[in-house]
Amino acid sequence: MRSFLLKNIAGRGAHQESSFRSETADQFESVGAAEGSGSVYQSTATEAGNPNSVANGITVMMEMFTGLAFILLLALSMAMFGCGNEETQSITKPVSMNTDVATPQPIVETPIVEEPEFVVTEPIIVSFADAESVYNERNYDEAKTLFATYSEQNPDNAWGHYMFGLSSKRAGDVKQAEIALSRAIELDPKHVKSLLNLSRVLIDDMRPQEALDALDRALELDNESNDAYRLQGRAFHNLGWLDDATHAYREAILIDSTDAWSMNNLALVQLEQEQYDDALHALARTIELRDDVAIFFNNLGMALEHTGHIRDAATAYTSAVELDVAYDKASNNLARVEAIEQDSSVLGVDLEQLAGVFIEEIKSWNVEALAAENASMTELDEAVNNISESDSTVVIEFEF
């Protein structure tokens, strides 16, 4: 369609241009002829007076204006509808005529993934002093953790494993305590403290016979250890060997006359054997040495109660509860004696005087021990003399 219009316009333009040129040439020739003849006025008058010439001129002018109007209209049409390449058409095309409707796309935020940072941290070095300080503050769980780290960093240090075991026991981890203490003994077979605390773990785990084996080794290394004898007494007591337990506790007290725990333990054996007066003497001395342990006052109350000193027993139980408000046994014992009437003939006790009685008793043990030792040495000397006087081989067994 566009090409047809262009051709039509071109044809009409050429025709009108040819007609215009011919008419103009006629006029110029007429003018030229007039000039050549020297009679311009005459020629004009003649032209005006010719009706055909005027009509033709008007017709030519009308056609020229018609053609120009057509060309202008066509140019406006081309400007409105476009006549160029695709880029021009897309630019001039009205928005309402664009059939390609773009579908809006949702905006998706891409999460920013942070790359992990690899931080190389230096291992924390734990010192023995720092870990021991925490243990002394009675923070046993943290002390256990610190000594575990210390033992890993110092695997050949027997003391590190020993403290790891001790902290584990205090923290309630009996199995780990046994492992750590056994490791300390492997590293140092002569580590007496590890042997002693291993026996404590075994006694608490209801394995007294195994505890005795460890204590025998400890006493071979240090036969003056009151701790070893006290623990030996506990093991014997758990096995029901009360006489052996009594002997062991006495040995501990002979080595250390201020060993309050051995005195308390000895009194428990005596209470079981219904030796209440002896137990009262031992416990009177016990609380004289240590008045900050609730168990000691509870046991003293039992001894006083069994000897008829009900009011003094109530006082002892009260002291136990004051030292440990969560001590249920002492609370129950106190409630019981408060409901009992004391015999009016029973006088109050003098605990200081009773403690003095026990001190003298300890001295007698020394005399008995010395006498027993002398008797053993005399028996040994006699046996040696008899062997030297006889040609026969004699096998003699002695019990020390």
Of the candidates 226, 246, 227, the residue with the CA atom closest to the CA atom of residue 236:
246
Domain contains 7: yes
pLDDT value, residue 56: 58
Cβ count within 10 A of residue 376: 13
Per the structure block, which two tokens stand in for 309? 């000193």
Q: Taking the CA of residue 141 as centre, how many other CA atoms within 13 Å lie in the half-sphere pointing to its CB?
A: 0
pLDDT value, residue 366: 83
pLDDT value, residue 165: 98
Q: What is the overall mean pLDDT for the chain?
A: 80
Say which residues have a Cβ less than 8 Å from residue 253's Cβ, sequence separation at least 6. Answer: 226, 259, 262, 263, 266, 362, 365
Cα distance between residue 382 and residue 386, in whole Å: 6
**pLDDT at residue 394 greater than cutoff 50:** no
Say which residues have a Cβ less than 8 Å from residue 137's Cβ, sequence separation at least 6. Answer: none
**pLDDT tens digits, one per residue of 301-320:** 999 999 999 999 999 999 99
**pLDDT at residue 135 greater than cutoff 50:** yes
Amino acid type, 140: Y
**pLDDT tens digits, one per residue of 213-244:** 999 999 999 999 999 999 999 999 999 999 99
**pLDDT at residue 32 greater than cutoff 80:** no
Q: What does the DSSP 8-state code read for residue 114?
A: P
pLDDT band at 386 (very low <50, low <70, confident <90, very high): low
CA 167 from centre of chain: 20
Domain contains 41: yes
Q: Which residues constitute the domain of residue 9?
A: 2-81
Determine what percent of the chain falls in helix, strand and coil, rounding each to the nearest 5: 75, 0, 25
Domain contains 371: no
Say which residues have a Cβ less than 8 Å from residue 159's Cβ, sequence separation at least 6. Answer: 128, 184
Domain contains 58: yes
**pLDDT tens digits, one per residue of 328-348:** 999 999 999 999 988 888 889
Per the model's pLDDT, the better-predicted residue between 78 and 20 turns out to be 78
- Of the candidate ranges 45-49, 133-137, 254-258, 287-291, the one whose mean pLDDT is the lowest: 45-49
Cα distance between residue 155 and residue 302, in whole Å: 48
Domain contains 35: yes
Domain contains 297: no
Say which residues have a Cβ less than 8 Å from residue 208's Cβ, sequence separation at least 6. Answer: 202, 234, 235, 236, 238, 239
Per the structure block, which two tokens stand in for 272? 């079981």
**pLDDT at residue 167 greater than cutoff 60:** yes
pLDDT band at 265 (very low <50, low <70, confident <90, very high): very high
Domain contains 14: yes
Give the total number of structural domains in the chain. Answer: 1
Per the structure block, which two tokens stand in for 4? 């047809």
Domain contains 47: yes
State mean pLDDT over 144-158. 97
